[in-house]
Structure 1
Amino acid sequence: MALDDLKQVYQAVLLDYAASQKYRQPLASPTKAVSLVNESCGDRLTLQVKVKEGKIEQVACLAEGCTISQASAAIMAGLVDQAPLEKAAGLLPIFWRMLEGKEISQEEEKELGDAALLQGVSRFPARVKCAGLAWQGLSEAIERKN
């Protein structure tokens, strides 16, 4: 597959995530909720999680904003839904290293799943905040005691 074809496939996957409605329904009684705004471009996110016995049982990303922000939120939600908090927390440093343009191992890339498609965002500093908004929300939700 030619490089241009591969880029088109990646773009299509990200557009599909951005349009996905799977994690966009508010939770009835979340145990944690974080609301954030990316002041540089206006992206808005409310991340709701329902945590029970150290596991994320449900997650909702109520997001408005650019395609990168929307796609990243949907990918992150899919990765952490039904995941132990420890596993979700373990994804954060890998994702941030990748967004900083630092190398990640093949094993780490596999852990990130489709979030690794956002690797190229590191070349566009203005978009790093877009891609990282949901992940920042996840970090804050995990750190909150209630």
Structure 2
Amino acid sequence: MADMERVERELLVDPAFFTALPSRLPGLVEHVEILPKKMKATNELSCYRYAAVVHVKQKGRRQKGQQIREVKGEDWIDFTKRGLDRKSLRQQLSALSSSSIIAVSNIPYSKTIVSRYLVESLDDGAAEKLCDQDWLSSLE
């Protein structure tokens, strides 16, 4: 393992492995963050690089300074299903009070959105749906 670590600094692991850690190891893992890596190049490898930050529990107490809030499934806003864009999301964020919480999911990642729509277009019926949308505008 030590030899592998010297040679290979990154692993290819599905982000779901890390996001499942709090439920699989509730006594050890506080929460996990998945952060896309900012890369200069845009290619098939750089589009899917991320850092996983695993926050480990401190013996029986929550880490100071962190405020983790659970958001019920029905309270999440699906960016894609609602047809949001940058402007409409910015308007929703501006309308919030400083103590409000907003949880937004399914925000297209600009580095992978074209590939995502191409794959979706291969599904039956999806091609017609994509032709009706101005999906290129979401790349901005």
Specify the TM-score bucket, using the shorter chain as the normaliser. under 0.3
TM-score, normalised to structure 1's length?
0.26
Relative contact order, higher structure (CA 8 A, sep 6+): 1
Higher helix share: 1
